[in-house]
Every structure is written in structure tokens, then in C-alpha cells.
Amino acid sequence: MDYIKQRFFEKGTVARAQIAELLSKSKDLIVDEVTVGNVLGGMRGVTSLLTLTSKLDPHEGIRYRDYKLRDLYAHLPRKKGGSEPLAEGVFYLLLTGDIPTSEEVEYIRQDWVQRSEVPPHVFKAIDALPSTSKPMTRFATGILAAATQSQFQKKHRSGLRKEDYWDSTYEDVMNMLAQLPVIASYIYRTEFCDGNPIALDPDLDWSANFAHMMGFNDEEMYRLFRMYMFIHADHEGGNVSAHTSHLVSSALSNPFYSYAAGMIGLAGPLHGYANQEVIRWINDMYKHYNKTIDNPLTLEEVTSFVNQTLDEGKVIPGYGHAVLRATDPRFTTQLEFAEKHIDNDSMIETVKMLFQVVPEVLQERGKAKNPWPNVDAISGSLLLHYGIKDYIFYTVMFGVSRALGVGTQNIWDRFLGMSIERPNSQTLDWFMDFVKEAK
Ligand code: CMX
């Protein structure tokens, strides 16, 4: 058996025994209760999912396995002389719960290079879309088209025991991870550049290769991509994209299908699309006050525009969160990155001004439970600074990174034999009667 697979199998066997014990001894223990408000409020906060890869704490933010993001800077292998963790190591940690050695990271890097050849019909499927298609439509289409190579689907159709589902799922997820930067950079090159794709460099790591294939070839860009891929990799199981993927996968749809479905969820403005919305909205603010880079916005103008946006019944993109109740550490990591590596950028200065203004305004208005910035409040301004100007592409970049976590969750779901999801639903009459009886 492949070395990484073997390491996963050992971990998985222990977890399988724990699941078996939970089911045999504690199946009827009550974990949580569900109120009418929960049902009508998107099941916010109701514990009903099992996710091994990461855990989101409302105040301290995401932990990949047992580690806060900040601590992983010190623990995860980096490129010689580099400061950002490598995505290959993030994947290994999410999969096994252990910090990998540099050799293990190099093993995964080479494995992904070997698996990176995308079937040609994937590009044809993307090209067949009309020019009005959004990058996320292209991305999800590309992932769906890549499903022809699914080993899980083929093996399942020809008969597969449930305890072996994970093996071909692992193969599919590894192939998908290896190919996503190729698919995404193809979309970028054909939609925003000269149309000529750039071949993968077999000596680069996954994140740097993504930058390279998009057409950016310097250490600064590689560093930015490594940081970006690292912080967006996972956010436990209940967010829209991870949960959608889990749900679709629970019907034994193959990993390409389930991840493509998740990406359609990521494309929504309340989720990953917010990273583009922030830039569009700041641009609108500049236009509104007839301001330019040389003549930046004032604090008063920013405050007034924030209030105006809220008065129009819109949300402030990049602020608020369904779980977090503090500034997202992924925001802070990016702010520190900007402070360390970037001087005098008016967009980043505006982002900082918004950080001064928005939490206070949202608190005053008293509606949003979390007035603090999330990951999307700043990510676009960094990408823009480094020359990725076509901000409608940003959610695709988020989607490439998130596959590290969601793909890993998919392998675990198969290993643990998670059931098909089928919550109960009731009619409005049922709820009205239920409340009448309860009173
Ligand atoms: N601006 C204005 N109003 C906001 C707000 C914001 N940034 N965040 C929340 N609110 C409002 C909600 O719209 C809601 O109003 P209604 O009662 O009229 O529906 C009210 O405050 C309560 O919402 P909440 O419980 O605080 O937040 P939710 O869990 O319902 O929603 C989220 C969370 C992220 C969708 C919301 O904060 C939001 O719309 N933020 C802006 C979009 C955004 O940045 N999304 C990216 C999130 C991170 C990611 O997934 O990438």
C-alpha cells in the first residue's frame, strides 16, 4: 500500500473502532436539542455533524486538528528559507492529525505532480461554455467533467465492499487535488490572459505551481499563494461548501461530483463569493466619492458609505460570521502578512480603515451577531496588490484551497462509512399545530 495511504489506514482503523463503540454503547445519548428557531434559522449551532479535520471555535478561530493556524507556522514544513507552510503538509496534517516530516511533504508533492494530468475533454467542456459564464461556473464544470476518471464510481458499479470504499475515494481525491490548480489556472489564462495555458513545473510545490501556471513566477508570489492556500484550506464541516460536499457524497456520489456541488455553494455571496464582493464594493465606494488611488478616501466617507450600504438593506461584505464571534485569525494572518511585505497600498489602507469603522457601526446597529471581519475582508486586497486584478476569479482560488480540507473530509466519511443524510422535514401546518399544542 502507498505510504501515505498506509499512515491514513492506521489512523482510520483506530477511529473506526471508536465509531463502532459509539454506535454500540451510546447511540441513544442526546447530543443537542432542536428548537423552532433552529429549524427556521439554518440549523445554526445545532451539533449534528462529525468532522475530524478541523474545529472552529467562536473566539479563537479555526484549528486544523489540534493546532491554531498561528502555531502551524512554526510546526509545518516550509520551503528552505521560506516562512509559509506548504499545502502538502497541511493536507497530511488534516488527513492524519500528525505533523509531517519534510520527506512526507516531498512524497505528497511528487505524488501530486504525477497525478496532475487533466483529461483533455475537461478543457473542452470549459471552452464550450458561453463567454458570459462566470469563473465559478467554469470551475465547477471542469471538476464535474473530470469525474470521468473516478475510480470510486467504476469500482462501486462493479461491486465494492463498504469497508473498501475509502481506497478508491482516496485515489479520486488525490487526483482531484493534483488537477485543481491546473483546471483553475487554465480558466484564468483563457479568461483573463492571452489564452495560452502554462505547463506545470515538476519541481515546484502545489501552491507555487498554481501561481506559476497562472503566469506569476517569483518568490513573492509563491509566498503569497502558500499563505493563501494554507489559511483557506479547511473550516470544519458545517459551512455551506463542506456540508454540501458531505451531503452529496453521502449518496455515494463520487468525489468530483460532491466537490463540484460544494463549489456551487461556495459561489454564493454569503459564502466564498464575498471575497470578490469586498473589492467590488470598495471600488463602488471610490467611484461614489470620485476618489482615486492618489486621492484616498477619508474616514468620514468610509463611515458614511458603510451606513448607506446598510440603509439600502445590503450586507457589508467580509464582515460577520455564522460561528465566529471575534476577528477571524485568517484576517489577522493576512493583515500581518500585508504589514510585513507591503508598503503604501491604497486598497489595503482602505481595508484597514474599514476595520476601524465597520465593527463599531455594526455594533451600533445591533443586528449582526458578529461585527468583526472574516477571511474575505482582506484576501482580495492582497491578491490585487500582487497583480491578480480580475477579482471575479478570487472565489476559484478559494475553491482550489478548500479542496485540501473538504477532500480529506470526504476520505474520512468513506472510511467511517457515514450514512446517507436524510433529516426529517415537516409542513408549516405541522409547525403551527406543534406550537399550539406546546402552549
Ligand atoms: N452586514 C450587514 N448585516 C449583517 C452582516 C453584515 N456583514 N452580518 C450579519 N448581518 C445581519 C444578517 O443579515 C441578519 O439580518 P436579518 O435578521 O435581517 O436576516 C442579522 O445580521 C443576524 O445575522 P447573524 O446571525 O449575525 O449572521 P448569520 O449567521 O445569519 O450570517 C453571514 C452569517 C456570514 C452570512 C453574514 O454575517 C453576512 O452576510 N456577512 C457578509 C457576507 C460575508 O462576508 N460572507 C463571508 C463569510 C465567510 C465565508 O464563508 O467565506
Q: Is 321 in the pocket of ligand 1 (CB under 6 A)?
A: yes
d(CA 202, CA 129): 30
pLDDT of residue 245: 98
Residue 368 contacts residue 314 (beta carbons within 8 Å)? no
pLDDT of residue 293: 76
Q: What is the C-alpha R_g of the chain?
A: 22
Cα 322 to ligand 1 centroid, rounded to whole Å:
7
Residue 352 makes CB contacts below 8 A (sequence gap 6+) with: 335
Residue whose CA is at the smallest distance from ligand 1 atom 2: 315
Number of domains in the chain: 2
Q: Within the chain, how many helices (H) and strands (E) appear?
A: 20, 3
338-369 confidence digits (pLDDT tens): 999 999 899 999 999 999 999 999 999 999 99
Residue 411 contacts residue 173 (beta carbons within 8 Å)? yes
For 278, 366, 425, 428, the CA distances from 40, given in Å and listed in that order, are 28, 21, 11, 11
Question: Looking at the domain assignment, is residue 425 inside a domain?
Answer: no
Question: Looking at the domain assignment, is residue 39 inside a domain?
Answer: no
Cα 315 to ligand 1 centroid, rounded to whole Å:
7
Residue whose CA is at the smallest distance from ligand 1 atom 14: 368
Q: Are residues 342 and 199 in the same domain?
A: no
The partner residues of 61 in beta bridges, in order of sequence, read 57
pLDDT of residue 226: 98
Which residues of the chain have a pLDDT value below 70?
A: none
Residue 148 contacts residue 181 (beta carbons within 8 Å)? no
Question: Looking at the domain assignment, is residue 373 inside a domain?
Answer: yes
pLDDT of residue 294: 80
Tell me the CATH number at 308: 1.10.230.10
Q: Are residues 297 and 362 in the same domain?
A: yes
Q: Is residue 321 annotated as a catalytic residue, yes or no?
A: yes
pLDDT of residue 251: 98
Q: Are residues 290 and 249 in the same domain?
A: no
Within a 10 A sphere around the Cβ of 68, how many other Cβ atoms? 14
Cα 187 to ligand 1 centroid, rounded to whole Å:
30
pLDDT of residue 81: 87
Helix (H, G, I), strand (E, B) or coil at 22: helix
Grid coordinates 482615486 are at which residue? Answer: 292
Q: Are residues 317 and 272 in the same domain?
A: no
pTM comes to: 0.97
Active site residue: 212, 232, 321, 328, which one?
321
Q: Is 323 in the pocket of ligand 1 (CB under 6 A)?
A: no
**Listed residue (178, 183, 222) closest to 202, CA to CA:** 178
Q: Is 324 in the pocket of ligand 1 (CB under 6 A)?
A: no
Q: Is 376 in the pocket of ligand 1 (CB under 6 A)?
A: yes
**Listed residue (91, 99, 98, 103) closest to 207, CA to CA:** 91
Q: Are residues 251 and 295 in the same domain?
A: no
Question: Looking at the domain assignment, is residue 33 inside a domain?
Answer: no
Q: Are residues 322 and 176 in the same domain?
A: no
Question: Looking at the domain assignment, is residue 316 inside a domain?
Answer: yes
d(CA 17, CA 22): 9
Q: Is residue 376 annotated as a catalytic residue, yes or no?
A: yes
The partner residues of 64 in beta bridges, in order of sequence, read 54, 67
- Residue 296's domain comprises 285-385
Q: Are residues 304 and 278 in the same domain?
A: no
Residue whose CA is at the smallest distance from ligand 1 atom 31: 322
Question: Looking at the domain assignment, is residue 47 inside a domain?
Answer: no
Q: Are residues 272 and 329 in the same domain?
A: no
Nearest atom, ligand 1, residue 374 CA: 48
Q: Is 320 in the pocket of ligand 1 (CB under 6 A)?
A: yes
367-397 confidence digits (pLDDT tens): 999 999 999 999 999 999 999 999 999 999 9
Instruction: Cell numbers for 376, please give them.
Output: 474575505
Q: Is 354 in the pocket of ligand 1 (CB under 6 A)?
A: no
Residue 285 contacts residue 301 (beta carbons within 8 Å)? yes
Q: Are residues 254 and 356 in the same domain?
A: no
Residue 225 contacts residue 86 (beta carbons within 8 Å)? no
Q: Are residues 219 and 350 in the same domain?
A: no
Q: Are residues 82 and 134 in the same domain?
A: yes
Which of 324, 363, 367 should be mutated for ligand 1, with most atoms under 8 A from CB?
A: 367
Question: Looking at the domain assignment, is residue 30 inside a domain?
Answer: no
Tell me the CATH number at 279: 1.10.580.10
Q: Are residues 359 and 247 in the same domain?
A: no
Q: Is residue 205 annotated as a catalytic residue, yes or no?
A: no
